[in-house]
Structure 1
Amino acid sequence: MSSIIKQVDIEQLEAEGLPDNLANSSYELIQRGAAINPNAPALTFFLNGNNHRNTDTWTYQQLLGQITQCANFFHELGANKDTVIAFILPNLPETHFVIWGGQASGIIAAINPLLETEAISDLLDTANAEILVTLAPFPGTDLWPKVQPALAKLPKLKHLVLVNLADRVQGLKKPIAKLLAKREEWRLHGLAGIAAALPSNIKTHYLQSGLARQPSDHLLSQRIIDPQDYSSYFCTGGTTGLPKIAMRKHCNEVANVWSSAQFLGDGIGPGKNVFCGLPLFHVNAVQVTGLLPFSNGAHVILGSPQGYRGEGVVSNFWDIVEHHRVHFFSGVPTLYAALMQIPTGKHDISSLEFGLCGAAPMPKEVFKNFQERTGLKILEGYGLTEGTCVSSVNPPLGERRLGSIGLRIPGQLMKAVLLDEESGAYLGDCTVDEIGALIISGPNVFAGYTVEEQNRNIWVDTGDGRKWLNTGDLGRQDAEGYFWLTGRKKELIIRGGHNIDPLTIEAPLHQHPAVEIAAAVGRPDQYAGELPVAYVQLKAQQSVTEAELMLFCQNNISERAAQPKFIRIIDAMPLTGVGKIFKPTLKKMEMISVITEQLQDAGIDLRDISINDEKLRGTVIRISLVDSSAQAQAKEILGHYSMTIEFN
């Protein structure tokens, strides 16, 4: 395990400098991991959580071979270092082959398979994708019917590579699965099949047959990957409207793996089993439960195409841990809240060493109860796509401070600074425990967004010659170097770790003839973290019901996660002195609504509630009950929410 315990350990590592023998690319990282023990298990996959003992496993030699074959296949299709290879896939072994093979041949672009057709088309077009890998038609899947209509809008796309789910079916059922896949294709497109349903500029291929004819022991391109070559594009900051795609380089991914390993070290090395349940279109799954363990010779267990959402995965999680001897997994607060409802029973989960939690603050009650029940160490951390993945984490061997996002990773600087509210100009560094904008600088920080206008005002000039990224989050650093988030990006709603741009909701609502102003905010939720809620101010002399607006949203918002849970019509929108919508007021209204409803449902009478913004702790809610003896019950109920609550 790493020796990082305190901030001074990080500074000592940095004084020694980055190792001279850092890999040049993600491909080289995986080569090094495979060299530790080529015959060790590298990747195991199961299709269903209820049948998780039925698995396929690849050794490191086999995994590297498949990745190399994939790179050679893309090279055969004409890919070079500047070719964008997009994938829209669930969590499959093939997804890993495509990600790392794609990075060895070109630039991989990850697209969320839960998006609707219009959003998929926008992202592929903005990324300038020339090759697309996605699922072939298969009964019970809805991906192909969403992707196929988008293809007509993509004149730059040259090749469509299809992954057949029937290839993942084992034994005697495989021929039947292949027949069902072909019948689904005929049902959708007739006997002429998929090729007849595509634009003339797109050629169709199947991944399995494409890999089968490629060598697995060398790159046909003979490419020498430069650390400054682009490796991947990941979507960030909302997924509809004008796409926002972060461009990362091989040196970014290599640096982030090295830095993260200094904390996690031997915890994700040879002999360790890492469970991946987060989606592989997200950087956490790709880096923390992908490239990091692969580069260190650990064993990744990929649990179902839908990850944690897959059938039987959460309900059988402790059996999965026991059977596969899982040592580490990464999740979001909603996962830990769900696992709290699953008794560990007689399962032997002693293999578990720690779990990483990010994406949103962990409710304190969930944190404490989970650790008490399982004995598992939860490492709260912080990261963003623009920082490759991990920026800070609580040290496994050091003090883990509840509510803190931990110490910054080695090699990446991070601090809270004061910025001018109007211009965003740097005014100075914050003092200890002073709240400011969190900025980061280092080799893990991305190159920028694909659309140049989105790069305005994201960099902060502190005068020290370094390139600092404004994360958009507010926080403070205490005297021992631990960081604490006190506010998130002004606009994003985070639903179960899924980032929702409020414009996704607001833009369609503004198109309704009765709507004057619309504002979307997050409503606290004990399972999802936040749920989107829309506030609407109507035009004069106009009338519409909340139910009618809800139906309008369902018909006009393509992103399912962005569908508002509630729509509230109000007389006047709260505004700032310069006429901007003041969303903190709306968010506080939702906090009060949640608390009031929860206590009323429990038969607890509320005397008074107030919300104040404090310097060190951010938003603090104070509650007074009619019957003070009900405090313990109220604390238990409200402890599942990521809110700071005190009782008078």
Structure 2
Amino acid sequence: MKIKTIQDIERLEDTPLEHRLRGLQSTYDVIRRAARESPEKPVFHFLKTGGMDEKAVDISYAFFVGRVTQTANLFHDLGVGSGDVVSYILPNLPETHYILWGAEAAGIANPVNPMLDRDHMTGIMNAARSKILVIPADRDIRQKIKHIKDHVPSLKHIIQLGNNSGADPGDDVIFYDDVIDHYADDRLDSGRVFHRDDVCSLFHTGGTTGLPKLARHSHYNEIANARMTGLAIGMTSEDISFCGLPLFHVNGAFLTGLACFMTGATVLLATAAGFRTPEVIPNFWKIVEKYRVTYFSAVPTVYSSLLRIDMGGADVSSLRVAICGAAPMPCDVIEKFEGATGLVLLEGYGMTEGAAVSSCNPLYGERRGGSVGFHLPYQQMKTVILDAEGHYLRDCKTDEIGTVVLKGPNVFSGYLQEEANRQIWVADGWFNSGDMGRQDEQGYFWLTGRTRELIIRGGHNIDPAMIENALMRHDDIMAVAAVGKPDSYAGEVPVAYVVLETGADRDISGLLEFAKNHIAERAAVPKEIYLIDDLPLTAVGKIFKPALKQDAIRRATLAALADFGPGLNISVEADKTYGTVTRVSNVPEERIRDIRNIMGQYAFHTIINDKK
């Protein structure tokens, strides 16, 4: 059925989800079924460089399921049971899929962002009590391994991709290529019987204390979301997805991974670094033409980059949909992208806690720019009013702003760290997303802000506590608060508001250098630091970040419109429909269009010359 309206979703739901998942208890079952139905069909086209003369490495579903089975048997041989954790620090390789799904078949997978510093990696693995770590043949990662080995007492084995050619004979490392073919590829040696509620993965997501939280996914969460997503965008076995987002993130792993395996589709793995590979963006349209890609998912920064690339007459008629959901997409970018390419761009909404996707604009219905569309089939989604302590008061009325809450088979059971589970559940098992939004009369959802404080830079979640905790170690800083400042390219960039100790040197460049040297994630280093006399506080003495966020929006607007001179009046204020709006007044009539084009590059709502 082609989804055009919310009523189409309701008709889809007349068929029980259990019927659509018949015979599937685990992600391993999904892969086995696809291999049984189409053994010789490519599951992956792997590009090593993204160059136009490159011939992709093709991997069949038959080989894939065999390698996943062998990998699970390797982990089992090393002592991994259903409750043990295998962490991996890997780029986007076919082997990464073998490790991820092999770990879920043997125990629990824990993907780790390779761009984190060693202390952050150590914190994640200690929280997970990782038993095995899988790493690439990468010198930078190897330099972090000794520290990790010395500080993660649960770690028993390290596996490195490749063989031991040229390795240090003193290394206590198992080389994947040297051992993997010793294991059976047609059965799980463990004899494991899967249950849908078995925990199968721990994906890390932004926390509130500087250390990422680990979201527990069950096999049912992941296979349900894969099927639900496939229904929402009409996936079939003929699809070829382009995977350019990282496989340590749910978008890459599930939307352009497991959802494809669910329908027997093919994945184009676009180099180890995905969209970060220098050749991928310039060659994107030619790659689409060559491999007949049908859909891809990307963050707003990628779409902005693609707009700068001449399509060069490439035949992209195979592409039926482009998806964006990791961060708010400016309406102007959506319009320009669709106008330049003739493609359908679907804006959606998802989170790690919901196993990737929770809502999406209808592919065959009206797409409303700025909206994140309808809830997925079989998942419930609504907005509610909570009291100051986060307790449920009532459901929101139509178009009334409230907290977005989720419930359904894709929604996780909670974080591994129990302290992180406080106040995440609203009455009757609804998950508090931490996002604010409204639902209109036709069922479309619109996000208006966040109650949680995460900064989303180019689709990458940044915990402001990571910035604040690092800067507070500086002797001259009395208080600090970090927020996201709107950015036309990255969506948001982190900035920090700092109160200095009395008599301290007002050396912003020195503070920025300190931040660079002490913050674990490069993406979290603040782009700017603003020195202020006092942080805004609530009546009970807590930092009032909405005021700082409004200031950051105002600064971004002033910078964007700097060439228009000092005569403009710019204000930022709360709004009952959009959450926050920027008002630009005193604009000459002949300059309104120019300002509208510039402000259209930002995700926040701007009103020009409004007579209130």
Same fold, TM-score > 0.5, yes or no: yes
Amino acid at match of 1:136: A
Amino acid at match of 2:186: D
Selected match of 2:484 from 498, 522, 539:
522
> How many Å separate the matches in 2 of 1:35 and 1:42?
13
- How much has 1:87 moved relative to structure 2? 0.6
Q: 1:173 matched to which residue of 2?
A: none
- Could you give the per-residue CA deviations for residues 393-444 of structure 1, whole angstroms, max 9, x where no partner exists? 11111221111111111211111001001x2111010111111111111111
Amino acid at match of 2:148: A
Gaps of 5+ in 2: none
Q: 2:598 matched to which residue of 1?
A: 637
TM-score, normalised via structure 1 length? 0.91
Amino acid at match of 2:66: G
Q: Secondary structure at the match of 1:322?
A: helix
- How much has 1:626 moved relative to structure 2? 4.8
Q: Secondary structure at the match of 1:594?
A: helix
> How many Å separate the matches in 2 of 1:239 and 1:284?
22
Identity of aligned residues (%): 44
Q: 2:290 matched to which residue of 1?
A: 323
Query: Contact conserved, 1:392 with 1:409, CA < 8 A, in 2?
Result: yes
> How many Å separate the matches in 1 of 2:23 and 2:305?
39
- How much has 1:22 moved relative to structure 2? 5.2
Q: Secondary structure at the match of 2:17?
A: coil
Q: 1:58 matched to which residue of 2?
A: 59
Selected match of 1:458 from 418, 421, 424:
424
Q: 1:607 matched to which residue of 2?
A: 568
Q: 1:70 matched to which residue of 2?
A: 71
Change in CA separation of 1:112 and 1:489 when aligned onto 2, cut-off 3 Å: farther
1:493 matched to 2:455? The reply is yes
> How many Å separate the matches in 1 of 2:274 and 2:467?
27
Q: 2:401 matched to which residue of 1?
A: 435
Q: Secondary structure at the match of 1:470?
A: strand
> How many Å separate the matches in 2 of 1:531 and 1:235?
21
Selected match of 2:171 from 170, 194, 217:
194
Q: 2:270 matched to which residue of 1?
A: 303
Selected match of 2:179 from 198, 207, 210:
210
> How many Å separate the matches in 1 of 2:31 and 2:277?
27
Query: Contact conserved, 1:120 with 1:147, CA < 8 A, in 2?
Result: no
TM-score, normalised via structure 2 length? 0.96
Query: Contact conserved, 1:333 with 1:361, CA < 8 A, in 2?
Result: yes
Selected match of 2:353 from 386, 400, 417:
386
Selected match of 2:151 from 150, 153, 175:
153
Query: Contact conserved, 2:52 with 2:286, CA < 8 A, in 1?
Result: no
Query: Contact conserved, 1:599 with 1:605, CA < 8 A, in 2?
Result: no
- Could you give the per-residue CA deviations for residues 333-384 of structure 1, whole angstroms, max 9, x where no partner exists? 1111111111112111111100110111110110000001111111111111
Selected match of 2:256 from 266, 289, 293:
289
> How many Å separate the matches in 2 of 1:40 and 1:331?
26
Q: 1:116 matched to which residue of 2?
A: 117
What is the total number of aligned residue pairs between the two structures? 607
Query: Contact conserved, 1:605 with 1:625, CA < 8 A, in 2?
Result: no
Q: Secondary structure at the match of 1:508?
A: helix
Query: How do residues 189-588 of structure 1 correspond to structure 2 at under 5 angstroms?
Result: 192-195=169-172, 204-238=173-207, 241-265=210-234, 268-421=235-388, 423-461=389-427, 466-588=428-550
Q: Secondary structure at the match of 1:130?
A: strand
- How much has 1:53 moved relative to structure 2? 2.8
Q: Secondary structure at the match of 2:134?
A: strand
Change in CA separation of 1:30 and 1:52 when aligned onto 2, cut-off 3 Å: farther
Q: Secondary structure at the match of 1:50?
A: coil
> How many Å separate the matches in 1 of 2:303 and 2:340?
12
Query: How do residues 617-636 of structure 1 correspond to structure 2 at under 5 angstroms?
Result: 617-636=578-597
- How much has 1:239 moved relative to structure 2? 9.4
- How much has 1:456 moved relative to structure 2? 0.8
> How many Å separate the matches in 2 of 1:444 and 1:62?
29
Amino acid at match of 1:205: I
Q: Secondary structure at the match of 1:49?
A: coil
Deviates more, 1:252-261 or 1:427-436: 252-261
Query: Contact conserved, 1:459 with 1:467, CA < 8 A, in 2?
Result: yes
> How many Å separate the matches in 2 of 1:88 and 1:427?
43
Amino acid at match of 1:94: E
Change in CA separation of 1:355 and 1:474 when aligned onto 2, cut-off 3 Å: same
Amino acid at match of 1:65: G
Deviates more, 1:239-248 or 1:122-131: 239-248
RMSD between aligned alpha carbons? 1.7
> How many Å separate the matches in 2 of 1:44 and 1:559?
31
- Could you give the per-residue CA deviations for residues 468-510 of structure 1, whole angstroms, max 9, x where no partner exists? 1100001111111111101124310111111110011101211
Gaps of 5+ in 1: 168-177, 187-191, 196-203
> How many Å separate the matches in 1 of 2:86 and 2:473?
35
- Could you give the per-residue CA deviations for residues 227-248 of structure 1, whole angstroms, max 9, x where no partner exists? 1111100001249833310111
- How much has 1:596 moved relative to structure 2? 1.6
